[in-house]
A and B are shown apart, each in its own frame.
Chain A
Amino acid sequence: MAHFEKAKDLHDWMNQRLAVDTLKRVLQTEYWIPKNINFLWAMGMVLAATFGILLISGIFLLMYYQPNTQLAFDSVNYTIMSEVGYGWLWRHIHGVGASVVFLIIYIHMFTGIYYGSYKKGRELIWLSGMLLFVAFSAEAFSGYMLPWGQMSYWAGMVITNLFSGGSLHADALVEWIRGDYVPGQAFLGRFFMLHVLLIPLAIIGLIVLHFGTLRIPHVNNQDGEEFDFDEAAELYKAGKVKESKVIPFSPVFLSKDVFVMGIYFIFFFYLVFYHFEFAMDPVNFDPADGLKTPTHIYPEWYFLWSYEILRPFSTNVGLIAFAIAQVIFFTLPFLDRSPNVAPASRRGLFKYWFWALLIDMIILTFMGKLPPQGIWSTVGLVAALTFMGLWIALPFITAKEKKL
């Protein structure tokens, strides 16, 4: 057994048993972050904080929610909304949070793409981040089932039907996923479990992995500059704070994060209190009815771009295009053949590729919400083909890129 001495104070007592000083040094005061970054680098901590808020509001919703097809709708729309004290607050925080978290995820992703933060040793950061994106998507979808309104039911119907694989006609698989011929009690029960237990566990594990993958390659910076972190850290520790290229994660970097978070939470709670309705689809305030389809079925805004890639094609082609769109971002570190780690603006054709992809996805998002008729069908089809074309072009334009 290790040797313990009578402790001077609580801190010393803890330190002997848990090495809190070492932990603090390794995780905070001597975890080095580059100086040359901007507010976009704060999105990671903004996401972590938003996840925390979703978790807390979710815990309070869980106490009154009833995962039963007969009771679910009223437990949300009557019990939580008008009986439970401040129940509306948790619901609006949870609904707005689920929507806004995707806005920040997309900003976080496109920041990584713009500055090339997915290559030369940073591939695992990108891949674990993409796994988080998938897990958050599953979490959002399963959560959307729970109020058991018309949109819940029909989104559940349409999305589970995707697993029949078009002409493969795998109805048995679809029925197995649902536990019934149509979404029913078995379906609601298992999606409730996924939403409140299994997927959140996976997300927490993936967040730990995502932080872990950052440790060795370090955080990227605005110029993609590669420098000696140990040397820079020595300078900082020697008091040459100005000359050093790094700052400690805590308290220095975190104070910048806290500033950005402050601005973000003003925006967040403005939405929660004054504009929560954007996250509450009116169609979902009708109880689920298996004998009546809503006129238009569309997903929440953050899934619209991939939904629009599914829509303009015939079933099989659409499914394949949709499946590709779901996984294509995973391949980014491997399809980008250029060794340059630099902002897109200095990377020749890649600059145009980046902005074309961003604008194309915004167009897909708008088209996904419009009914598939006339000119909008054509615009949607062109945008979907452009999306595919951009990814096919990526290895060619990056292979030709001049080395910086």
Chain B
Amino acid sequence: MANNTKGRRDFMGMALGGFTALGGIGALYAMKRTWDPLPSVKAAGFTTIDLKDAKDNVLVTEKWRGKPIFVLKQSKDMMSKMKDEDKQRLINIDGGHYLVCVGLCTHLGCIPGYNPEDESFLCACHGGTYDSAGDVTKAPPPRGLDIPPFKIDGTKLVLGEAGPEYEKMLADGITLPV
């Protein structure tokens, strides 16, 4: 009797258990996918901005994927003081140099404020600062402000689409994928 129980009843148990495990894995995948960003959210992830109206040392805030995007045209004076590695963070169009970055502190995501007098960003949450090229000048932020994927189209930028200039920045390790 005991042996018989082991053979046939265990088989029923194992068969049910096996199929349950299989269904469970499928269900977990379905649950994971249910929490993924919706296609409509993904599709709305492109924004076109025009850089031609930007003025020297005046911060313009745009919106892309619900996040603030900082556009800061650098003046001649600012360019002359700037370190070479910071210049690589800028987008050059028609002889103008622009910082275009996600306006969220890389520490925990607060929005830093820009002070045009000392040409720097300050995050009020935990006191991090960035220079006018968006590079960190005071911790806690672990890295400079992230640069969104962009594609240059005349004087316009398509945010959300990765052009060759952006790919080069990624390859050079100037920014991380956002």
Q: Which residues of A contact B (CB under 8 A)?
A: 154, 157-158, 161-162, 166-167, 169, 171, 175-182, 184, 186, 190, 290-293, 295-297, 311, 313-316, 318, 372-373
Q: Is there an interface contact between A315 and B66, defined as CB atoms closer than 8 Å? A: no
Question: Contact partner of A181 among B66, B107, B125, CB < 8 A?
Answer: B66
Which B residues are in CB contact (< 8 Å) with A181? 37, 41, 45, 65-67
Contacts of B141 in A (CB 8 A): 315
Q: 20 A-B residue contacts at CB 8 Å? A: A157-B108, A157-B109, A176-B35, A179-B37, A179-B38, A179-B41, A181-B45, A181-B65, A181-B67, A182-B65, A186-B35, A190-B35, A290-B63, A291-B68, A291-B111, A293-B125, A295-B124, A314-B139, A314-B140, A315-B107
Q: Kindly supply a per-residue 1/0 record for chain B positions 35-64, scoring 1 wherever the CB is within 8 Å of any chain A CB and 0 otherwise.
A: 111100100010000000000000001010
Known contacts A176-B37, A293-B124, A293-B125; 5 additional CB pairs below 8 A are A166-B142, A167-B142, A176-B32, A297-B110, A315-B142
5 interchain residue pairs of minimum CB distance: A182-B66, A181-B65, A293-B111, A293-B110, A161-B109
Which residue in A176, A318, A373 is a CB contact (below 8 Å) of B140? Answer: A318
Kindly state the separation between the CA atoms of A296 and B108 in the bound complex, as whole angstroms: 13
Find B67's partner among A176, A182, A190, A373 (CB 8 Å cutoff).
Answer: A182
Q: What residue of chain A has the Cβ atom nearest to residue B103's Cβ?
A: A291
Q: For B41, give its contact among A162, A184, A190 (CB under 8 Å).
A: A184
Q: Which of B110, B127, B140, B176 contacts A154 (CB 8 A)?
A: B110
Which among B36, B108, B127, B177 is the interface contact of A158 at CB below 8 angstroms? B108
Does B178 belong to the interface (CB within 8 Å)?
Answer: yes
* Inter-chain contacts of A372 with B (CB < 8 A): 126-127
Q: What is B's interface to A at a CB cutoff of 8 Å?
A: 32, 35-38, 41, 45, 61, 63, 65-68, 107-111, 124-127, 139-142, 176-178
When A158-B108, A316-B142 are in contact, do A291 and B63 touch as well, CB less than 8 Å?
A: yes
Q: How far is the CA of A292 from the CA of B112 in the complex (A)?
A: 9
Which residues from chain A contact B139 at a C-beta distance below 8 Å?
314
Selected contact of B125 from candidates A166, A167, A182, A296, CB within 8 Å? A296
The answer to whether A162 and B124 touch across the interface, beta carbons within 8 angstroms, is no
Question: Complex formed: what's the CA distance from A178 to B36 in Å?
Answer: 8
* Given A162-B108, A171-B178, A175-B37: A184 and B126 interface contact (C-beta under 8 Å): no
Shortest C-beta distance, B162 to chain A (Å), equals: 15
Contact in complex: B142, A186 (CB < 8 Å): no
Task: Report the nearest B residue to A311, measured CB to CB.
Answer: B126
- Complex Cα distance, B165 from A297, in Å, reads 36
For the complex formed, measure the closest distance between the CB of B16 and the CB atoms of chain A, giving whole angstroms: 25
Which chain A residue lies CB-closest to B104? A157
In the complex, what distance in Å separates the CA atom of A182 from the CA atom of B107?
15
Q: Roughly how many angstroms separate A179 CA and B32 CA in the complex, as a whole number? A: 11
Minimum Cβ distance to chain B for residue A114 (Å): 35
Q: Known contacts being A179-B38, A182-B65, A291-B61, is A158 close to B110, with CB within 8 Å? A: yes
Give the residue name and chain of the B residue nearest to A177 (CB).
Answer: B35
List, in ascending order, chain B residues with CB within 8 A of A158's CB: 108-110, 125
What residues of B have a CB within 8 angstroms of the CB of A313 in the complex?
140
Separation of A296 and B125 alpha carbons in the complex (Å): 6
Residue of A nearest to B127 (CB): A372
| Contact call A290/B140, Cβ cutoff below 8 A | no
Residues in B whose Cβ lies below 8 Å from that of A293: 110-111, 124-125
Given A181-B66, A315-B140, verify A297-B125 contact (CB < 8 Å).
yes
A197 to chain B, nearest CB (A): 15
Chain B positions within 8 Å of A167 at CB level: 142
Q: Which chain A positions have C-beta within 8 A of B38?
A: 179, 186
For the complex, what is the distance from the CA of A373 to the CA of B125, rounded to whole Å? 11
- Interface core residue of B32, B35, B45, B139 (most chain A CB under 10 Å): B35
Residues of A within 8 A of B127 (CB): 372-373
Of chain B, the residue at the smallest CB distance from A319 is: B108
B176 touches which of A169, A311, A318 (Cβ 8 Å): A169
| Chain B residues with CB below 8 A from A296, complex form | 124-125
Residues of B close to A175: CB separation below 8 A: 37
Residues in B neighbouring A297, C-beta threshold 8 A: 110, 125
In the assembly, what is the distance between CA of A296 and CA of B45, in Å? 29
Look across to chain B and name the residue whose beta carbon is closest to the beta carbon of A183.
B66
Chain B proximity of A295: nearest CB distance (Å) = 5
A149 to chain B, nearest CB (A): 16
Taken together as a complex, chains A and B put the C-alpha atoms of A182 and B103 apart, in Å, by 13
Min CB distance, B109 to chain A, in Å? Answer: 5
- The CA of A157 and the CA of B36, in the complex, are separated in Å by 17
Supposing A181-B67, A314-B139 touch, asked if A176 and B36 sit within 8 A by C-beta, the answer is: yes
